[in-house]
Amino acid sequence: MKVLLVGVGGVGEAIAVIAKSQPWVQQVVLSDYNTERIKEVQEKLGDTQRFPGEWVDASQQEKIEELAKKYKVDLIMNACDPSFNVPIFEAAYNYGCTYMDMAMSLSEPHPTDPYRQCGVKLGDYQFERTELWEKKGLLAILGLGVEPGMADVFARYAQDYLFDEIEEIGVRDGANLEVRGYEFAPNFSIWTTIEECLNPPVIWEADKGWYTTEPFSEPEVFEFPEGIGKIECVNVEHEEVLLVPRWVKCKRVTFKYGLGDQFINVLKTLKMLGLDNKEPIKVKDVWVAPRDVVAACLPDPAHLGDKMFGKTCAGTWVKGIKDGKPRQVYIYQVADNEECMRRLGCQAVVAQTAFNPVIGWELLEHGIWKGSGVLGPEAFDPIPFMERMESYGFPYKVKEY
């Protein structure tokens, strides 16, 4: 398999590192706007023939298509912020290859009632084009990271093997990670974090469909396994809520994130000051997006690994009925930062995200997952994916309540 990897930030680097050990991966083209970053990742990989580097502006569809043609790739992997999804998605369609991302096209709040009604939903742009992809016999897999991605695979597994009826599916994410030496240092892209945390969260219910609520609403204390402990989780906009109901029969879907009071207060302050704005404003003689300024002022998550300590947990809580009896389970994966750094040289949050698309590549390469159109991870058999998780160093577990 030949892959054009668009974006070699923290997750992109981890994808390349994990792919390096897979003999069926013939070539991964590292493309990014930052050529110094490309060189840094190439030095870590030590194989420029298998991992060539190319400059690209991910906002320019034609540049992505040119690279795809140059290297005759089989798949375009989008590892950029989701603001670049449309040109990368369209480049794969025009060139004629498989597309994969880890976060769907962006939402837009309802213009008059943002905290009760959906406007443009996450992924709407992409799902509206599924017939075009089907007619061309092409496949686009949306949201195959950890959340969304692995969590969605778990939801399909719960439906197929663990429950007769599902009342609620709730993705729950929490960690006890500490970044030492910084007052505030997000361990994932702050651009994406602002987007998902300050947008109106989406909830799905069988009798109401998709609807929105206030950011950080419905707080609940969820006890995470393997020593992480009890953490307050709140509603956050996330792709699983837009994906799971399309393929998994249930009555309710939510996503809640254990952000912590400090993190929530920082995000609220950014919004109050207008620093969450992604549209450029004029500062003296320069046009700049306030959100880009915030991102530039914070440390790069890709370089925080040696300062991070603790574990991160991603998983899917499911409540329903099995054999006439109530049942609750939490299907999860815990990544320890020290272990990820030792084994991969990448911090836990990006590593836990990155192994999932590589498993997806493998299943596509060997014809185990196949299809056409625009699909989510729930559209495929979950067993082959979950069987491979341990061999990639990220085993899953199931907690019964």
Q: What is the pLDDT of residues 206-231, one digit of tens each?
A: 999 999 999 999 999 999 999 999 99
User: With 90 as the cut, is the pLDDT of residue 342 above it?
Assistant: yes
Residue 330: predicted pLDDT: 98
The mean predicted confidence, pLDDT, of the chain is 95
- The predicted-structure confidence for 261-315, as pLDDT tens digits, reads as follows 888 888 889 888 898 888 899 988 889 999 888 888 888 877 887 888 999 999 9
User: Once rounded to an integer, what is the mean pLDDT over residues 244-265?
Assistant: 93
Better-predicted residue by pLDDT, 259 or 243: 243
User: Once rounded to an integer, what is the mean pLDDT over residues 150-168?
Assistant: 98
Position 184 confidence tier, pLDDT thresholds 50, 70, 90: confident
Residue 117: predicted pLDDT: 97
- CA pair distance 104, 143, nearest whole angstrom: 6
- One-letter identity of residue 17: V
User: With 90 as the cut, is the pLDDT of residue 69 above it?
Assistant: yes
Secondary-structure breakdown of the chain: helix, strand, coil percentages, each rounded to the nearest 5: 40, 25, 35
- The predicted-structure confidence for 347-370, as pLDDT tens digits, reads as follows 999 999 999 999 999 999 999 999
Residue 304: predicted pLDDT: 80
Position 4 confidence tier, pLDDT thresholds 50, 70, 90: very high
Give whole-number Cα distances, 378 to 7, 120, 241, 277, 333, in Å. 25, 22, 12, 33, 17
User: With 90 as the cut, is the pLDDT of residue 15 above it?
Assistant: yes
The answer to whether the CB of 155 falls within 8 A of the CB of 378 is yes
Position 76 confidence tier, pLDDT thresholds 50, 70, 90: very high
- The predicted-structure confidence for 290-300, as pLDDT tens digits, reads as follows 988 888 888 88
Residue 101: predicted pLDDT: 98
The answer to whether the CB of 372 falls within 8 A of the CB of 139 is yes
The answer to whether the CB of 281 falls within 8 A of the CB of 287 is yes
Residue 95: predicted pLDDT: 98
Q: Where are the alpha helices (DSSP H) in 184-284?
A: 190-198, 240-247, 261-272
User: Once rounded to an integer, what is the mean pLDDT over residues 166-171?
Assistant: 98
Position 145 confidence tier, pLDDT thresholds 50, 70, 90: very high
Domains of the chain and any CATH numbers:
2-101 (3.40.50.720), 150-344 (3.30.360.10)
User: With 90 as the cut, is the pLDDT of residue 99 above it?
Assistant: yes
- The predicted-structure confidence for 365-401, as pLDDT tens digits, reads as follows 999 999 999 999 999 999 999 999 999 999 999 999 9
Tokens of 345: 């040289």
